[in-house]
A and B are shown apart, each in its own frame.
Chain A
Amino acid sequence: MKNTLRQVFHSPKFVIGFVIFAALLLTTIIYPIIVTADPLEMVGNGNFFKPGTYVSVKDSVEGTRYTLNVDVKAGSLDSKISAEDKESMKEWLTKFGGVAEADINLEDTEGLIALWEANYSEDADQPGLTASRKKYFVRLNKNIDGVLLDSDVIIAQKDPETGELVESATIGSKEFVNTKDVANKKTFILGTDNFGRDVLTELVDATKTSLRVGLIAGIIATLIGLFLGLISGYMGGVVDDLIMFITNMFTVIPSFVLLILISYSVGQNARGVNLVGIIIGLTSWTWTTRSVRSQVISLRNRDHVNLSKLSGHSMMRIVLTDILPYLASYVVMAFILQISSGILSEAQLSMLGLGPSTSNAATLGLMMNWATAYAAPLNGSWWAYFPVVVTIALIAFSLNLMNTGLDQVFNPQLRD
């Protein structure tokens, strides 16, 4: 046993797979200890907030301020007006503003803005301009309005009795806050999803759920497969015929179709995480049965089995002590694959809306489902689906790698 383990951990493939899988598993255990927030809590009031740290505006206004001698004007000008904007401003000014093209110098941003502020009018007659273009100029105008002015921003509070605005503070253009001083802030490493939930926290929880589904499915499928395979292979005869008849029937029907039908008929009410795992397990045991059976058939006429039979050992004992150990390596490998395919099946089911319900659990498939429903791939919100895809890929990849590694150790033909 010790020797086998050593061999196994000498297989580089197995080790890589094991490390990835262990890392994922550890993350799902450790992360919730550090971040205790409810993964289903809808924090963001909107769709797909991008990754980053969000600091409270009120806190930053009220917090300690530092004056830094930095040219803020250039920075904010660049962020507010792109080269394309400048070209558009020039176009508008020459077409509708009555400014000669020679008077406009695109290099001189401040001069351009001054010209713009002097000549642009929302209500000007703009023949031939589309509504979307007109609105673009209105937005642009709003955006650069007052950008040249160096005046302070005034913070005012409403007097609760008179309703008048009372000036409480001013903010100069060179004042900064240290983000460490801001009490209320929230970091979304992977942004938020369409419900405004923290994607990273949800992803970790979903990975945990998926691993659980995979494990439940894997255990059930392997146990059923092993049990039926052992009985049918060892006993033979009518029992074998009967079991193989059932197995063949289940093999012929595509298991995913079966999965969809069962999930649909169970209904969303009852479809918890565990039940989905059980359903997947119940539909994916057939290949394990077939393989175990064929191996048992080849084992049952070996000398040591015959000796045991002659010694009058019970069937149970023979199967457990003389046959099962020879299958153990295969069963472990099959189990790993069952986990992997269970996780993928859950993802597929949830993508179809047949997985656990959204308000009860986060799963990888559900995250993908909602991201697609709210067109995350179309509006560039990569954080809502890409990390999910990577996680699914990593789980499947690591499990398959472990399986290949084991195969090389246990299968003499593949041994180096």
Chain B
Amino acid sequence: MKSRSRRLVALFATMAMTASLLAGCGGGDTPAATTDNAATTDDAAATDDAATTDDAAATDDAAATDDTAAADNTGAAADTNSTPRNETLYFAGQQWGTINDWNPFSTNSNNPMCVQQKDSSRTLIYETMFMFNMLDGQLYPLLATEWSWNDDAMTGMTVKLNPDAHWSDGTPLTANDVAYTWDCNVKYESSLGLDFSNYIAAITAVDDATVNIECKLDDAGNPANPLKVQQLLQQMYVMQKAYLETVEGRNNSDKEAMKLDKMDDLVASGPYLPFFDDDQKIVFIRDENYWGQAASMWGKLPAPKYIAHVIYADNNAGQIAMEAGDVDVAQQFTTDVQKLWEEKNLPITTYIDEPPYGECATMPTCFMNVEKPGLDQVEVRKAIAMATDFDQIIASAMSNQSPTFTQVPRSTMNPTAGEQAMYDHDAVKDLQFAGNDIDGANALLDEAGIVDTDGDGIREYNGTPLSFKAECPDGWTDWMASLEIVASSAKKIGIDIQTFFPDTNTFYDDITTGNFEICMNSPSGSSITNPWGRCMQFMSSQYADLAVNWSGNWSKYRNDEADEIMAKIPLETDEAKLKEYYTRLNEIYLTDVPSFALMYRPELFYIVNESVWTGYPMKDDGSNIPPTDCTDGYGIAALYNLTLVE
């Protein structure tokens, strides 16, 4: 009897798969929704019943019609959850899973739409003193109007706050708030406090509108790192002193309790406030009393009254919604993104109309652990890099959304014009490798005496075959595909690379503790501290010695000369001198190859659907607003330029 039921199940599974994928051959919305569920059907094929597939398809359909239908999905909460489509800006790809807190001190926050203190901080709710613009590398005023060094040695900094700034409860925002926020970051050991307290001794209020930042000095009386002090201006959220004291009160000023506080009763200064959130959707509402409507800041309120982010199951679900016009701004990697407008004729566009379609600012990099036998040999590292087919990675894994290494030769610089101008391209020209150079890589290894002695096709070093495990998190498909291409290239030069895709947590455990052979990770993108910060992430021995290393140099590479240069850079303001330093650093980097970039990549993908809103920043539109999804750094200025489509 079992054989029959098994037969039926097998037949059913095949039919279900065929049917769902057959439907995918057509065009339009319905097949998209159906095929998205193909995965579900397959996974559960052995035990699945038709109901699962139908349910899931129904949910997708509902999400794909319009926002009222999407609101119906969540049932009871329909009142707060339903916002007029023409007052709401919908996002995708920024938030996965239900949010857990609104706390900038938290170490396990899952609320990127609100809490994102980084190189270009997200200032929808909490605000920073300045906004970073990745296009020109400048700081733009937000809560503060100007900053200056107190003296030529850069031992202290004075920041003037905007007198118009006030909190969502109406009370004015003063220098005391800034000082107290810093004190709390240090006292409660937030990751920001831990990082920056290496460079900043104290932040004090001179008067209501003036903040003094005192740098940490080394033995010689030089500031530890003036670049990092500038970085704080764009990175630290300013919080209200009175509110922080309330939170301290209810947590008895306990360090751990402070980090775990949900802060859902927050007081902030930004243009939006929390409005609604559950496991389906997050909505922010505009603060009609936002201080930024003062003439000294934006002079008006941002255009969308609501900011909403539906929580999608995966990239494909987000893409379906975007194609249906239910998402306005998508931060998602999309294969063959140009097909959306060239073939499907959708009102969708990206920052640039042709490859690489976005403003690339970072470069996912292949880090090789130089403490592992085999990888400690520079020839082996360089051979792997030389053999890798970068053009193939960029064209297929990255779907052409990156400039090639012929267009932007590899270095420690990101592809933005500003950073590219900071080193001498010709000086390192002979050290460059174009990739897919199998003969060159083979010759290099043969010359170094690293050959295949036992005839199994794999070269040996000191009798051990060169066999390495290359890892990146499971589900990061473009990274996974890149590593597959690295592996298949290495195979051609007699180096065995096995790909390994653990879950994200395991991956981070592995790389922060050095328990890996080859891994892929991104150095920081555009920032006021870069390219210095990125050089540190590639070569600083300071990071190599960390027991748990979240900072960089996962290769554990050590070079005294590089360390020396990198120590000098933050204190140097002479541009010619800086160029000399960076050129030398790149010579070292390209000679020793502790790691090599596999592609360039935008910090945020930026795909906009103009069926409801228009006026998004585009390249060469003269606005100088960076394509940071209308939320990050100076990119938030885009929200003030949006208009409804006529």
Q: Please give the residue numbers on chain A whose beta carbons come within 8 Å of chain B beta carbons, in ascending order.
A: 40, 42, 44-48, 84, 128, 130-133, 135-136, 138-139, 194-196, 254, 256, 267-269, 287, 290-291, 333-334, 337, 340-341, 344, 347-348, 351-353, 357-359, 368, 370, 372-380, 382, 385-386, 389-390, 392-393, 396-397, 400, 403-404
Taking CB atoms, residues of chain A closer than 8 Å to B353 are 135, 138-139
A139 partner residues in chain B, CB cutoff 8 A: 342, 353
Find B24's partner among A135, A196, A377 (CB 8 Å cutoff). A377
Partner of A357 from the list B22, B346, B481, B498 (CB cut-off 8 Å) is: B498
CB–CB B6/A341 < 8 A? yes
Contact A390 B18 (CB under 8 A): yes
A382's partner among B24, B46, B345 (CB-CB below 8 A) is B24
Which of B156-164, B264-272, B333-341, B378-386 touches A?
A: B333-341
B residues in contact with A48, CB < 8 Å: 335-336
B614 adjacent to A130 (CB under 8 Å): yes
Q: How large is the interface on B (under 10, 10 to 19, 20 to 34, 35 or more residues)?
A: 35 or more
Could you list 13 A-B pairs, sorted by A, with CB under 8 Å? A40-B488, A42-B485, A48-B336, A130-B347, A138-B353, A291-B3, A344-B45, A344-B46, A358-B499, A359-B488, A373-B477, A373-B480, A375-B319
Binds A, one of B8-16, B247-255, B409-417: B8-16
Q: Which residues of B contact A378 (CB under 8 A)?
A: 32, 35-36, 316, 319-320, 323
Q: Within 8 Å of chain A (Cβ to Cβ): is B87?
A: no
A386 to B24, CA, bound (A): 9
Of the residues B42, B315, B610, B616, contact of A348 by C-beta under 8 Å = B42
Quick check: B339 and A379 within 8 Å, CB to CB?
A: yes
Q: How far is the CA of A396 from the CA of B346 in the complex (A)?
A: 39
In the complex, the answer to whether B35 meets A130 with C-beta atoms within 8 Å is no
> In the assembled complex, which residues on chain A have CB atoms less than 8 Å from the CB atom of B17?
389, 392-393
Measured CA separation A376–B621 after assembly (Å): 33
Contacts of A84 in B (CB 8 A): 345
Kindly list chain A residues whose C-beta atoms are within 8 Å of the C-beta of B391: 45
Q: Is the interface of B mostly helix, strand, loop or mixed?
A: helix
For A136, the closest partner residue in chain B by CB is B341
Is residue B39 within 8 Å, beta carbon to beta carbon, of the partner chain? yes
Chain A positions within 8 Å of B32 at CB level: 377-378
Question: For the complex, what is the distance from the CA of A352 to the CA of B15, rounded to whole Å?
Answer: 20
Q: Which B residues touch A269, using CB under 8 A?
A: 469, 498, 500
Q: Which A residues are CB-close (under 8 A) to B2?
A: 287, 290-291
CB of B54 closer than 8 Å to a CB of A:
no
Complex-state Cα separation, A146 to B319, whole angstroms: 36
Instruction: Determine the chain A residues whose CB is within 8 A of the CB of B287 once the complex forms.
Output: none
Bound form: Cα–Cα A348–B348 in Å:
35
Interface status of B343 (Cβ within 8 A of chain A):
yes
Query: A residues within 8 A CB of B392?
Result: 42, 45, 195-196
Query: Do the beta carbons of A195 and B396 come within 8 Å of each other?
Result: yes
Q: Mark B368-407, 1 if CB is under 8 A from A, else 0.
A: 0000000000000000000001011001110110000000
How many A-B pairs fall under 8 Å by CB? 186
B491 near A: Cβ within 8 Å?
yes
CA distance A95 to B345 in the complex (A): 21
Closest Cβ of chain B to A26, distance in Å, is 22
For A392, list chain B residues within 8 Å (CB): 14, 17
Contacts of B498 in A (CB 8 A): 268-269, 357
Q: Does B347 contact A133, Cβ atoms closer than 8 Å? A: yes
Whether B488 contacts A368 by the Cβ 8 Å rule is no
Q: Which of B7, B25, B396, B501 contacts A196 (CB 8 A)?
A: B396
Instruction: Looking at the assembled complex, report how far the CB atom of A41 sits from the nearest CB atom of chain B, in whole angstroms.
Output: 9
Complex alpha-carbon distance, A371 and B27, angstroms: 17
B7 CB contacts on chain A under 8 angstroms = 337, 400, 403-404
Q: Nearest Cβ distance between residue B487 and chain A, in whole angstroms?
A: 4
Picked from B21, B334, B485, B491, the residue with its CB within 8 Å of the CB of A195 is B485
Q: How far is the CA of A170 from the CA of B184 in the complex (A)?
A: 74
- Minimum Cβ distance to chain B for residue A287 (Å): 5
List the 4 shortest-distance A-B pairs measured between CB atoms, nearest first.
A377-B35, A132-B349, A130-B610, A373-B477
B319: chain A residues at CB < 8 Å are 375, 378
Cα distance, A403 to B349, chains bound together (Å)? 54
> Measured between C-beta atoms, what is the minimum distance from A81 to chain B in Å?
14
Q: Is the CB of B616 within 8 A of A351?
A: no
Query: Shortest Cβ distance from B462 into chain A, in angstroms?
Result: 21
Known contacts A42-B389, A358-B484; A132 and B339 CB within 8 A of each other: no
Q: Identify which of B10, B22, B334 gathers the most chain A CB atoms within 10 Å of its CB.
A: B10
Is A46 within 8 A of B395, CB to CB? yes
